[in-house]
Amino acid sequence: RMITLTGFTDEALTSFPGQVRMASQAGLTHIELRRIGTRPILEASTRTLAAAQDALADHSVRVSCIATGLGKQPVNAPLGPQLDGLRRAAAFAHRFGTPFVRTFSWFTTTPDTDRARVLDQMSLFAAVAQDEDVTLLHENEKGIFGDTPERCLELVAASGNTLRLIFDPANFVQCGVRPFDHAWPQLVDDVSYLHAKDARAATGRVTPVGEGDGQWAELADWLRASDWDGFCSLEPHLGLGGRGGPVTTRRWVDALATLRSVLTA
Burial of 63 (0-12, 13-18, 19+ CB in 10 A): buried
- DSSP state string for 203-223: T--EESTTSSSS-HHHHHHHH
Whether 75 and 109 have beta carbons less than 8 Å apart is answered as no
DSSP state of 114: H
The residue ranges of every structural domain in the chain are 3-264
pLDDT at 239: 63
Whether 150 and 180 have beta carbons less than 8 Å apart is answered as no
- Return per-residue pLDDT of the chain as tens, 265 residues: 589 999 999 999 999 999 999 999 999 999 999 999 999 999 999 999 999 999 999 999 999 999 999 999 999 999 999 999 999 999 999 999 999 999 999 999 999 999 999 999 999 999 999 999 999 999 999 999 999 999 999 999 999 999 999 999 999 999 999 999 999 999 999 999 999 999 999 999 999 999 999 999 999 999 999 999 999 999 987 764 445 555 688 899 999 999 999 999 8
Burial of 137 (0-12, 13-18, 19+ CB in 10 A): buried
Whether 48 and 37 have beta carbons less than 8 Å apart is answered as yes
pLDDT at 1: 56
pLDDT at 247: 62
Query: What global pTM score does this model have?
Result: 0.96
pLDDT at 2: 87
DSSP state of 74: B
pLDDT at 237: 79
The CATH classification number of 3-264 equals 3.20.20.150
pLDDT at 263: 97
pLDDT at 70: 99
